[in-house]
């Protein structure tokens, strides 16, 4: 490939730097991930939905729970999640839910939402 480029342009082809697998390891860029149940944003509902959550660079992103295996198989995360919550201004409180033994209330004034997980 380099010789074809040199013959046609009389210039040397720019070097391509390949990152090692440790540099490109998607899991090293994701602080934490896992399945949580969540209630919908914005309206009261008693229905809980399982979602796959990632925390990365100060953002909480969530996907359909069945997307977890795809993300781990591909070794990179989908840039189009179901939702994104910036964690910079978030407040976390304990939440008493009889159906969920370990429950937190997440409030984000930046985007005006709150939900239980």
- Buried/exposed 8-27: b ≥16 CB within 10 Å, e otherwise: eeeeeeeeeeeeeeeeeeee
Strand ranges for the chain from DSSP E: 32-38, 49-56, 59-64, 83-86, 91-94, 104-108, 113-116
Query: For residues 114 and 110, what is the distance between their CA atoms, to the nearest angstrom?
Result: 11
pLDDT digits (tens, 9 = 90+) for 47-84: 888 888 888 888 888 998 888 887 777 766 667 888 88
Mean pLDDT of the chain: 71
Inter-residue contact 78 to 71 (CB < 8 Å): yes
Average pLDDT of span 93-117: 74
Query: What backbone phi and psi angles, to 5 degrees, belong to 74?
Result: -75, -25
Q: What's the CATH number of domain 2-116, 2.30.29.30, 3.40.50.1820, 3.30.70.141, 2.40.50.140?
A: 2.30.29.30
pTM of the model: 0.64
Using alpha carbons, list the distances in angstroms from residue 44 to 28, 38, 39, 47: 36, 12, 8, 9
Instruction: Give the number of other CB atoms < 10 A from CB of residue 72.
Output: 14
Average pLDDT of span 82-92: 85
């Amino acid at each position: 490939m380099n010789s074809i480029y040199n013959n046609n342009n009389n210039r040397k082809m720019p070097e391509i730097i390949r990152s090692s697998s440790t540099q490109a390891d998607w899991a090293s860029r994701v602080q934490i991930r896992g399945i949580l149940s969540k209630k919908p944003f914005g309206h009261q509902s008693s229905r809980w939905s399982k979602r796959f959550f990632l925390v990365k660079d100060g953002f909480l992103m969530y996907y359909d729970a069945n997307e977890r295996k795809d993300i781990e198989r591909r070794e990179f995360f989908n840039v189009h999640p179901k939702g994104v919550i910036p964690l910079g201004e978030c407040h976390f409180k304990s939440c008493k839910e009889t159906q969920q033994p370990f429950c937190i209330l997440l409030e984000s004034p930046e985007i005006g939402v709150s939900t239980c997980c």
